[in-house]
Amino acid sequence: MNIFMHEFKMSIRSVITWSIALFCLIFVFMSMFNAFASDAELLNEMMSQFPEELLMAFGMTNIDMATVLGFYSLIFTFIQICIAIQAANYGFSLVSVEERDMTADFLLAKPVGRTKILTMKGLSAITGLTLTNLIVWASSFVFINVYRDGRPYEIKTLLLLLLSIVMFQFVFMTVGLLISLLVRRIRNVTPYSMGLAFGTYVLNAFGGMLGEEKLELITPFKHFDPNYIINNASFDFPMMFISLSFIIVSIIASYVLYTRRNIPSAV
């Protein structure tokens, strides 16, 4: 429990920063909804003028921007990117930061096993991610209802969208953790997490553009495609299982690698 509390204290600032950023993102975008929706025809007409590749790149095909969830799905893509960076960040830094800052020598020389250390660190990161998630849920509900101006929306579909965040966070965190354990030392976490988040995002966007469906199979942005969820009012289960298998493999491999890991020394 002491490790959990320590880790949580160390990460709370980052959790708050991300939560505020996502809160602002949802607030600013949703506040523009009314203006967009009242000129819906004009907007949809303008959208149809854009080259289809561009719309695909931003996941904006088959979307009616005049509807609440159609508009929200655009915001949700940005939420997903932020969530992906944050979760990957926590995953990459989970054990690598201690090795970079040389504090691993302190922690691992204490009477506690590696399995417990990894579990506690993992739980702390999940708690942080869940707090951010709760903020996303709350601000989505609040600002949708404040700015929808009486327009209807399917609450079940919104719940599905928000529910997808949990597993989405898990994928990026666990895969990040696994990659961090496969390299000897990570000097700076940010390029790794940005790379993983934007890399998978671009893979999804360009995969859509180029019609390369095989590439899409490995990106969680495809597994939890907001358009699919909105249009079908359901998850894309076969795709979701790919993400689930990533999570399971990453967790098992991380425990195996970490319990056998040689901690690089300072000198």
Partner 1 sequence: MSIIEVNHLTKYYGKTKGIEDVSFNVDEGEIFGFIGPNGAGKSTTIRLFCSLIYPTGGSAKIFGKDVVKDGPEIRQEIGYLPSEVFYYDRMKVTDLLKYSASFYNKDCTQRLHELADLMELDLKRRIDDLSYGNKKKVGIVQGLLHQPKLLLLDETTSGLDPLMQQKFFNLIREENKQGATVFFSSHILGEVQKMCNRVAIIKEGNVIKIEDIKTLQKDNYKKISIAATELEETRFHVEGVTNMQKNNGAISFFFKGDINVITRLISERQVSDVTIEEPSLEEIFMHYYE
Residues in contact with partner 1 by the rule CB under 8 A:
2, 6, 10, 101-106, 108-113, 260, 262-263, 265-267
195-198: list long-range contacts, CB under 8 Å, 24+ apart. Answer: 196/84, 196/88, 196/92, 196/172, 197/81, 197/84, 197/85, 197/88, 197/172, 198/81
Question: Minimum distance between the CB of residue 266 and partner 1, rounded to whole angstroms?
Answer: 4
| CA–CA separation, 101 and 119 (whole Å) | 20
Give the CB-side neighbour count of residue 70, counting CA atoms within 13 A. Answer: 16
96 close to 189: Cβ distance less than 8 angstroms = yes
Comparing CB distances to partner 1, the nearer of 68 and 181 is 181
Listed residue (115, 98, 116) closest to 107, CA to CA:
98
Comparing CB distances to partner 1, the nearer of 151 and 261 is 261
| CA–CA separation, 185 and 70 (whole Å) | 43
Comparing CB distances to partner 1, the nearer of 104 and 158 is 104
Comparing CB distances to partner 1, the nearer of 109 and 238 is 109
Question: Minimum distance between the CB of residue 101 and partner 1, rounded to whole angstroms?
Answer: 6
Question: Minimum distance between the CB of residue 165 and partner 1, rounded to whole angstroms?
Answer: 29
Comparing CB distances to partner 1, the nearer of 110 and 214 is 110
Comparing CB distances to partner 1, the nearer of 12 and 82 is 12
| CA–CA separation, 134 and 118 (whole Å) | 24
Question: Minimum distance between the CB of residue 137 and partner 1, rounded to whole angstroms?
Answer: 30
Which residues lie closer than 8 Å to 232 by C-beta, 6 or more apart?
Answer: none
| CA–CA separation, 174 and 136 (whole Å) | 21
| CA–CA separation, 201 and 7 (whole Å) | 29
Question: Minimum distance between the CB of residue 107 and partner 1, rounded to whole angstroms?
Answer: 9
Comparing CB distances to partner 1, the nearer of 108 and 202 is 108
Six-digit token string for 27: 């607030």
Question: Minimum distance between the CB of residue 263 and partner 1, rounded to whole angstroms?
Answer: 5
Q: What DSSP line would sit under 65-123, residue for residue?
A: TTSHHHHHHHHHHHHHHHHHHHHHHHHHHHHHHHHHTTTHHHHHTSS--HHHHHHHHHH
Question: Minimum distance between the CB of residue 110 and partner 1, rounded to whole angstroms?
Answer: 4
